[in-house]
Structure 1
Amino acid sequence: MAVRKVDPGDGKPRCAWATKDELQATYHDREWGRPIRTDAGHLRRMAQEIFQCGLSWRIVLVKTPALKEAFFEFDVDRVARMKPKDVDRLMANDRIIRNRRKIEATIHNAGVFREIASEHGGYCKWFNKLPSSSAKEIAALYPLFRKAFRFMGPETTKCYLMGVGKIPQAHEPGCWMAS
């Protein structure tokens, strides 16, 4: 993968996908590949990956503030309690990505987060204990996520795991963020 420069004033080399504009460069520099420390943060990142399916990452980044508002800042309990009337309300909100299946998946997944939290003392606690030190351990996570969560196929799961720092080398060689 090629590393290119985008210049939001600093001239740093970044992963190729993050060189299209300043919004993506900022997301890359501040969030991509960094561990998440809250359940709400994990739900937001999972929802972003779900809403990105079939769309550009830039669209998701532009819509994220409205998604945060629509999904109560991704408060797991509040999202898990959303009802069909809430889905209808969100479908009428032209500030978000209006895909019924993705909205319903986010609500369903919040319910799964809540179940995991009740069994393990928090989604983050459970997530941080998941093994990921080898390619085999990482590969074993894909069917786990596909079974437990909606809209989390192998590629979406891989992007989520990379985005939250579970998979090492989230950054391309030569990127200033690569370790």
Structure 2
Amino acid sequence: MRSYDEILAIAADRKGGVDAVLADIPRPRSADDLAAIPEDRWLAAFARGILQAGISWKVVDAKWPGIEEAFLGFDVTAIAFQPPGWEDDLCTDTRIIRSPPKVRAILHNAEFIRRVRDESGSFGRRVGDWPEDDFAGLVQWLQAEGARLGGNTGAYALRSLGKDGFLMSRDVVARLVAEGVIDKAPASKKAWAAVQEAFNTWRAQSGQSLTTISRVLAQSL
């Protein structure tokens, strides 16, 4: 497996220098900052990722104000107290993307966030306190406990709110394959563990965030 500096050099050669590779990489938020994010923003981030899957993101952007309104501002407590039949009404609401499986997934995730809030004080606290050297475990937890948060949906949502982590984009996976870490996109616990070990190694070598390392890998191909 190449070192971080070797992969950074490859990316820099492709992109016109190290500064170009490292430009505009967001700085991750602290655990306390993540803990302070309201539950409705976590649900909104998950909902956006779910709704964007398989359709134009511009369509979701254009409908987003209506989506926020239809889902009660993604207030997880308000959602919990809606009467029977509200889910059916949502599935026919022209303000949203009318996909019953996606609507059900968003409502499932509202319950998931409420449960974690009751257990941990806040959903953001649970995410913020998740060990930095086990981001793969966090992604797998979202996939197992949430709904339609597998693939990159959960990881994208985490990054959008400032959690340090990596994405299994096509280019990142290709670099990991080239380095002999995995042979395809990770699906098993063993493969995810190998990915995490590689990122931990590059993090120890560079002192960079997982977000930065992920972006460097993506730009190296």
Confirm or deny a common fold (TM above 0.5): yes
The equivalent position to 1:144 in structure 2, one of 107, 117, 141, is 141
Give structure 1 stretches of 5+ with no counterpart: 4-12, 16-28, 174-179
As a proportion of its length, which structure holds more helix?
2
Aligned pairs (5 A) from 1:1-179: 37-82=37-82, 85-131=85-131, 133-134=132-133, 137-166=134-163, 167=165, 168-169=211-212
Give structure 2 stretches of 5+ with no counterpart: 1-10, 16-22, 166-210, 217-221
Report how far residue 47 of structure 1 moved.
Answer: 0.6
Relative to structure 1, the CA distance from residue 66 to residue 140 in structure 2 (aligned partners, 3 Å threshold; closer, same or farther) is same
CA contact (8 A) 1:163 1:170 kept: no
Find runs of 4+ consecutive structure 1 residues off by over 4 angstroms.
33-36, 170-173
1:47-105 CA-to-partner distances (Å, cap 9, x unmatched) read: 11111111122122112111110111110111234455112211221121011011111
In 1, the alpha carbon distance for the partners of 2:144 and 2:156 equals 17
Answer with 1 or 2: which has the greater Rg: 2
1:120-149 CA-to-partner distances (Å, cap 9, x unmatched) read: 111121121112x34xx1212222111110
The normalised TM-score by structure 2 is: 0.57
Q: How many residues align?
A: 145
In 1, the alpha carbon distance for the partners of 2:152 and 2:84 equals 28
Equivalent pairs: percent with the same residue? 28
The normalised TM-score by structure 1 is: 0.70
Relative to structure 1, the CA distance from residue 151 to residue 46 in structure 2 (aligned partners, 3 Å threshold; closer, same or farther) is same
In 2, the alpha carbon distance for the partners of 1:83 and 1:142 equals 32
